C-alpha cells in the first residue's frame, strides 16, 4: 500500500507546475552557488547562495521565464 501511495505522490509531483518551478529555481541556485564559490575560491554554502540569488537574481530570472512562456 505504501509503495502505491509513493508512486502516486511521485506522479502528481512530476506533473505539478509549482514543483517544476521549484526544481528549476533549485537548479539555478545550485548553479549560482557553483559560480560564486569558484569566484570566491571557497564553497559559499547553499544558504548563502540561496539568499544571494533570491535577493539579486530571482526577479529577473522569473521575468525571463515568463517572457519565454515557461
Residue closest to 22 by CA, chosen among 55, 62, 49, 63? 62
Task: Please write the tens of the pLDDT for every residue from 18-35.
Answer: 999 999 999 999 999 999
Mean per-residue pLDDT over the chain, rounded: 91
- Percent of the chain exceeding pLDDT 90 equals 70
> What are the residue ranges of helices labelled H in the chain?
2-15, 17-40, 46-56, 58-67
* Structure confidence at residue 14 (pLDDT): 73
User: Using CA atoms, how far apart are residues 25 and 58, in angstroms rounded to an integer?
Assistant: 8
Q: What is the mean pLDDT of residues 42-46?
A: 98
Domain positions in the chain are 2-67
- The pTM (predicted TM-score) of the whole model is 0.77
Amino acid at each position: 500500500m505504501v509503495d502505491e501511495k509513493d508512486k502516486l505522490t511521485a506522479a502528481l509531483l512530476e506533473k505539478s507546475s509549482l514543483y517544476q518551478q521549484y526544481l528549476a529555481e533549485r537548479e539555478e541556485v545550485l548553479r549560482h552557488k557553483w559560480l560564486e564559490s569558484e569566484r570566491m575560491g571557497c564553497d559559499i554554502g547553499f544558504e548563502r547562495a540561496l539568499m544571494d540569488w533570491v535577493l539579486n537574481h530571482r526577479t529577473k530570472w522569473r521575468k525571463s521565464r515568463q517572457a519565454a512562456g515557461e
